[in-house]
Structure 1
Amino acid sequence: MKTILEKALGRQRVLVKENERAVALYKGEIQAVLMPGEHWLANRRGNLEISRHDLKNPEFVSAYEKALFDKLPDVAARHFTVVRTGRMEVAVVERDGALHSVPSPDRKLVLWADAGPWKVTTVDTAADLAIDPALMRRLGQARKTEHMFLHPVVDGQVGLLFVDGVLVRTLEAGVHAFWNVGRMVQVKVVDIKRQSLDVAGQEVLTRDRVTIRVNIAAEYRVVDPVQAVSTVKDFSEALYRALQYAFRKTLGALTLD
């Protein structure tokens, strides 16, 4: 309830706490951003409106945001940190040294400056999709992985990185992370260790028309992962068929003796 003094003077006492900021409107128009302390503001006929914001939530979400930036640009510049991302950009936002958020492309984020300090790093994913290993670990620890594609490549393997279906480069052993915004990222792993391939129970007709049943075992190793993946759909199946054809052709030219 208003005090007698407030009614007589046509003013209202507004108390803003240390953990708060307030936006004052009079007759529907933005007047100021109020800092902590006691404020006496004009309030004739109840035309004063106070919008309070708790700094515990550092993001400024308000129906008056545009009006505040349009009518009081200097005030807005003092009180807010604005984060903007482009069509192929993400931002890494840190609050007092701790990871706060990772805004996606085409996003605007308005933060209370006094809730910081803030550090904003903008990343152009069109230039490079790879995420620095140190940042990758921080994103994982902070559970901010919604824009990250993670893929491990173990020893004895090579990873083939495809972006939008196009082979970009090969990946050595290790854990690799990429931004998965606006583009489709895939990693195909190829084993380059020595492997065995068994072709069992093949019936072959020799040159002297005798049917024999043959088992064959082969060892192979992929020396060109790119060629192995791009030339055939399944290189292990193609090798299996090639072995079948090779020993059928060889044994078919021999007699049983």
Structure 2
Amino acid sequence: MTKFIIREDERGLLFREGRYVKPLAPGTYRFWSFANHEIATLKTNQPFRVPERDIEPFLQDDRLRAELTVVDVPDYEYALHFEDGKFARLLTAGKHAFWNVWKRHEFVRVDARDPEIPPEVDVSVLTRIGSAYVQSYEVASHEAGLLFIGNEFERTLKPGVYRFWRGPVPALVRTVDMRQQQLDMTGQEMMTEDKVTLRLNFVCQYRIVDPLKSLEIRSFEDQVYVLLQLILREYVGTMKLDELLRAKQEVGSYALGKLKEKAGDYGVEFLSAGVKDIILPGDVKEILNTVLIAEKKAQANLITRREETASTRSLLNTAKLLDENETLYRLKELEFMEKICDKIGSVSLSNGGNVLEQLNSLFSVRGTRG
């Protein structure tokens, strides 16, 4: 005799010569060894599954079928399996059976052809399912998300976390940075109207206002760069070097105006633009320095001659006033005598005459002028 024991949390399946016979409830069973019986013991807290055997023949047994909850999932669906109200697993296409002797089984069916997850499915359930069947995307606070379903644009998404089913219809979220951005053009070689080759450092600021339009443009930043390059070449090519150096600030205004005309085609708003540096070739820079030095020297000479002329004219006017006004002449003499006295430590008077008379002789007016 062969003895088999089936516990309370188990069920048995009796096979004779490899063929299914009947289910066995918990208990003790004895069979003759020569009868070639086999018993498969299954746990009731696990899905009904017999190794290397299809489930369908067992479901034809009404006694076994009464202890099983069966769900048939089509190819285009997923089924969320809940045991006693708690999520247990996600079921894919196929027929699935579970023992109902201890637990209550519920199923929520979702159409895998629609990648958008219905709101009644809790986020905690999705996190337990994992990335094999659920894909997630995050749209940051400074971004706009563009949802594509089946390669067709669906709608724009606000900042947040979004999850979609992985199924026959793909879902994709493309994010676009909506912050102010800067485009730098560094060391761009250009030729002026008078055939001078120079390098230009230019900068412009912009912000994307139509994210879908910007995504429709392949290599968006490269195309904006080329647009700016063509605008600057067009402008610089019509100006001589001297004009360009004098109108440096006007280059940015012109470029910004042209960029705004094309802004709608790129889905952006251009905010500002300007020239950072104009870099000249070494020989041109030396020539300009020489010209600048010559100009400054000429200006210095002109100023010197102008000052000399003004000084001479001032002296002539002073002489005329002194000649016409004896009192003014006298005051001028006293002024010079005061300056002389500041330089003299002592004064000696000769001939032993009167001091006042000698001083008067020093300040005689007309007698000495003639």
Do Structure 1 and Structure 2 share a fold, with TM-score over 0.5?
yes
Can you give the 5+ residue segments of structure 2 that lack an aligned partner in the other structure?
244-370
Alignment correspondent of 2:145 = 159
**Paired residues of 1:101 and 1:144 also in contact (CA < 8 A):** no
Give me the CA root mean square deviation. Answer: 2.6
Say whether the 8 Å CA contact 1:58–1:115 is kept in structure 2.
no
TM-score using structure 2 length = 0.58
Give the distance between the partners of 2:180 and 2:35, measured in 1 at CA.
Answer: 83
Query: What are the Cα deviations for residues 24-78 of structure 1, in whole angstroms up to 9, with x where unaligned?
Result: 24565544322223567x76952543221123433423426322223x1x33432
Q: 2:341 maps to what in 1? A: none
Q: Deviations over 1:187-238 (max 9, x none)?
A: 22111111111111112222233333211111111111111112x2121111
1:193 counterpart = 2:183: no
Matches within 5 A, 1:52-67: 52-62=41-51, 63=53, 65-67=55-57
- Name which structure has the greater RCO, CA cutoff 8 Å, separation 6+: 1
In the alignment, is residue 90 of structure 1 matched against residue 91 of structure 2? no
The CA distance in 2 between the partners of 1:224 and 1:236, in whole Å, is 14
The answer on whether the counterparts of 2:13 and 2:20 sit within 8 Å (CA) in structure 1 is: yes
Percentage identity across aligned positions?
Answer: 28
Go from structure 1 to structure 2 and tell me whether the alpha carbon gap of 1:47 and 1:81 turns closer, same or farther (over 3 Å shift): same
Find the counterpart in structure 1 of residue 204 from structure 2: 218
**For residue 44 of structure 2, what is the amino acid of its counterpart?**
L
Q: What is the match of residue 254 of structure 1?
A: 239
CA distance in structure 2 between the partners assigned to 1:240 and 1:177 by the alignment:
36
- Which of the two has greater strand per residue? 1
CA contact (8 A) 2:89 2:129 kept: no
Q: Does 1:121 align with 2:108?
A: yes
- The TM-score normalised by the length of structure 1 is 0.81
Q: Which has the larger radius of gyration?
A: 2
- Structure 2 distance, partners of 1:18, 1:33, is 14
Higher helix proportion, which one?
Answer: 2
Aligned partners of 2:115 and 2:170 also within 8 Å:
no
Listed as ranges, the matches of 1:35-46 within 5 Å are: 35-38=25-28, 45-46=34-35
Q: Is the 8 Å Cα contact of residues 90 and 129 (structure 2) preserved in structure 1?
A: no
Aligned to 1:208: 194
Structure 1, unaligned runs of 5 or more: 3-12
Contact (CA 8 Å) 2:17, 2:37: kept in 1 or not? yes
Q: Secondary structure at the match of 1:238?
A: helix
- Supply the distance in 2 between the matched residues of 1:108 and 1:65 (Cα, whole angstroms): 8
**Is 1:49–2:41 an aligned residue pair?**
no
**What SS is found at the alignment partner of 1:209?**
coil
Structure 1 CA distance for aligned equivalents of residues 209 and 139 of structure 2: 17
Distance of 1:102 and 1:143 partners within structure 2: 7
CA distance in 2, matches of 1:179, 1:249: 52
